[in-house]
Amino acid sequence: MKSFVTSMNTVFKSISPVIALMFFQSSAWAVCADDWLDVDEVREGGNIELRATNLKEFPITYTMRVRTRGLATDGPKTVTGTLEGEQSQLVMVLREEEDQRSGRYRVFCEWTIGDKDAHHDDDLLYRFPYADEKSYRVLQGYGSRFSHTGLEKYAIDFKMDVGTPVHAARSGVVARVVESNEKGCWEDGCGKFANYMVVLHDDGTTGEYYHLKKDGALIDVGERVLAGQKIALSGNTGHTTMPHLHFAVYRAASWGNTQSIPVRFLSAEGVVSSPRSGRRYEATDADAARNQS
């Protein structure tokens, strides 16, 4: 089961229009920031511009919401958008309302890797995420009632011993790796202990590999991988009851979420449109699945 949302800090600001006019002309500081997304406040006269900047080379989808008192916005108070690598974008402008001696606002920000408008080619065939001629039992397939519902409807769990080689299901660039954890558990909050790898596909979707073992990533961020290439070692970290690999293809959604999308796999037995719980599927020659972009 995947459990990861990039929840960021929130900032509560109290503004005096007079002070803003006198002392904060063209000043700027971060109101919502981490090592991926930076939201800056820029004050111009009586206006407050909120600008989002992607600090990495990979696209991200962000959601920003403001709560205001004594301040008006130039559009919706909740905005979801996509930033390309190292792109900066004006998100909204706050303006002081008439007859207000002071204004306040609070910012909420979340993000995830990928493009919310990514167009997935449903004719693509993925390979199963393990070595050629190997097969592993599916613990949960599409729509499993145990935990593959909602955003996770099209995820797959494969039963794998700790240390089993994980192979790329599709070509792409490694955008994020977490491999420092070694704990696995089922209680609330255990998701933060997951090790995982996110591979960004050329169409803006992501292939995500969860519950990897500690120090189990074999590829560095920024490296391109090919379908069938060994990229990691499976484990039992995060929100889990037993060693397994959680894999899915995702499209970025609002509020740091990702929506799993159905994909088809090429196996030694033919095309698999919906992997079923309890079944085993033999991975085929990697070259057969390299018709993907």
User: DSSP letter string over 152-195?
Assistant: GTT-EEEE--TT-EEE-SS-EEEEEEE-----EE-STTGGGG--
- In the chain, residues under CATH classification 2.70.70.10 are 125-289
| Residue-averaged pLDDT of the chain | 87
Average pLDDT over residues 190-217: 97
Q: Which residues make beta-bridge pairs with 31?
A: none
Q: Which CATH architecture has domain 6-113?
A: Sandwich (2.60)
Q: What is the pLDDT of residue 101?
A: 61
Task: Give dist(CA 20, CA 48) in Å, integer.
Answer: 9
Amino acid at site 38: D
Q: Which CATH architecture has domain 125-289?
A: Distorted Sandwich (2.70)
Residue 229 has pLDDT above 60, yes or no: yes
H or E element in which residue 17 lies: helix 17-23
- In the chain, residues under CATH classification 2.60.40.1180 are 6-113
Instruction: Answer for the pair 84, 54: CB distance below 8 angstroms, yes or no.
Output: yes
> Higher confidence at residue 205 or residue 143?
205
Residue 123 has pLDDT above 70, yes or no: yes
Number of neighbours of residue 152 by Cβ within 10 angstroms: 23
Residue 214 has pLDDT above 70, yes or no: yes
pLDDT digits (tens, 9 = 90+) for 22-47: 222 334 456 788 899 999 999 877 78
pLDDT digits (tens, 9 = 90+) for 82-119: 999 999 999 999 998 776 566 789 999 999 999 999 99
| Nearby residues of 163 by Cβ (< 8 Å), 6 or more positions away | 213, 216, 233, 234, 235
Quote the DSSP letter at residue 238.
Answer: E
Task: Give dist(CA 78, CA 66) in Å, integer.
Answer: 7
Q: What is the pLDDT of residue 59?
A: 98
